[in-house]
Amino acid sequence: VKNIAVLTSGGDAPGMNAAIRAVVRACSYYDVKCFGIYKGYEGLINNEVEVLNARSVRNVINKGGTFLKSARSKEFRTVEGRKKAYDNLVKNSIDALVVIGGDGSFTGALKLSEEYNFPVVGIPGTIDNDINGTDYTIGYDTALNTVVEAIDKIRDTASSHNRLFLIEVMGRDAGDIALNAGIGAGAEEILIPEEDMGVERLIESLRKSKKTGKTSSIIVVAEGDKSGKNIFELGEYVEENLNDYEVRVSVLGHIQRGGPPSCYDRVLASKLGVGAVEALLDGKSEVMIGIVHKVVTIVPLKIALDKRPHKHDGLIKVADITSV
Ligand code: F6P
Query: pLDDT by residue (tens digit) across 197-253?
Result: 899 999 999 998 888 988 889 999 999 999 999 999 999 999 999 987 899 999 999
- With vertex at residue 310, the alpha carbon angle to CA 305 and CA 312, rounded to the nearest 5 degrees, is 155
Note whether 9 and 72 are within 8 A (CB). yes
Residue 20 has pLDDT above 80, yes or no: yes
* Predicted local distance difference test score (pLDDT) of residue 123: 98
Residue minimizing CA distance to atom 15 of ligand 1 = 11
Residue minimizing CA distance to atom 2 of ligand 1 = 11
* Predicted local distance difference test score (pLDDT) of residue 106: 98
The CB of 304 under 6 Å from ligand 1? The reply is no
* Predicted local distance difference test score (pLDDT) of residue 102: 97
Q: Ligand 1 atom closest to Cα of 11? A: 1
Query: How is 96-159 classified by DSSP, letter by letter?
Result: EEEEEE-HHHHHHHHHHHHHH---EEEEEB-TT---TT-S--BTHHHHHHHHHHHHHHHHHHHH
Catalytic residue among 103, 128, 141, 176: 128
The CA distance from 299 to 287, in Å, is 5
* Predicted local distance difference test score (pLDDT) of residue 243: 82
Q: Ligand 1 atom closest to Cα of 13? A: 1
Span from the CA of 119 to the centroid of ligand 1 (angstroms): 28
Average pLDDT, whole number, for the chain? 96
* Predicted local distance difference test score (pLDDT) of residue 210: 86
Sign of the Cα pseudo-torsion (200, 203, 205, 208, in order): negative
The CA distance from 265 to 267, in Å, is 5
* Predicted local distance difference test score (pLDDT) of residue 186: 97
**pLDDT digit string, tens, across residues 165-201:** 999 999 999 999 999 999 999 999 999 999 988 999 9
Average the pLDDT over 64-84 and give the result.
98
The CB of 9 under 6 Å from ligand 1? The reply is no
Residue minimizing CA distance to atom 3 of ligand 1 = 11
Nearest residue to 192 (alpha-carbon basis) of 225, 163, 220: 225
Average the pLDDT over 88-111 and give the result.
98
Residue 308 has pLDDT above 80, yes or no: no
Nearest residue to 66 (alpha-carbon basis) of 11, 143, 120: 11
* Predicted local distance difference test score (pLDDT) of residue 145: 98
**pLDDT digit string, tens, across residues 247-280:** 999 999 999 999 999 999 999 999 999 999 999 9
The CA distance from 64 to 31, in Å, is 28
Residue 310 has pLDDT above 80, yes or no: no
The CB of 174 under 6 Å from ligand 1? The reply is no
Residue 313 has pLDDT above 80, yes or no: no
Nearest residue to 270 (alpha-carbon basis) of 5, 20, 91, 27: 20
The CB of 146 under 6 Å from ligand 1? The reply is no
Span from the CA of 219 to the centroid of ligand 1 (angstroms): 21
Residue minimizing CA distance to atom 13 of ligand 1 = 11
Note whether 151 and 220 are within 8 A (CB). yes
For residue 33, give the H/E element and its range: strand 33-37
Residue minimizing CA distance to atom 9 of ligand 1 = 11
Instruction: Count other Cβ atoms within 10 Å, centred on residue 275.
Output: 24
Q: Is 128 assigned a catalytic role?
A: yes
Helices in the chain by DSSP H: which ranges? 16-29, 40-45, 79-91, 103-116, 140-160, 176-184, 199-211, 231-242, 263-281, 301-304, 315-322
The CB of 189 under 6 Å from ligand 1? The reply is no
Span from the CA of 13 to the centroid of ligand 1 (angstroms): 10
The CB of 128 under 6 Å from ligand 1? The reply is yes
The CB of 170 under 6 Å from ligand 1? The reply is yes
Span from the CA of 142 to the centroid of ligand 1 (angstroms): 15
The CB of 14 under 6 Å from ligand 1? The reply is no
Average the pLDDT over 283-298 and give the result.
98
Average the pLDDT over 88-110 and give the result.
98
- Which letter does DSSP use for residue 285 in this model? -
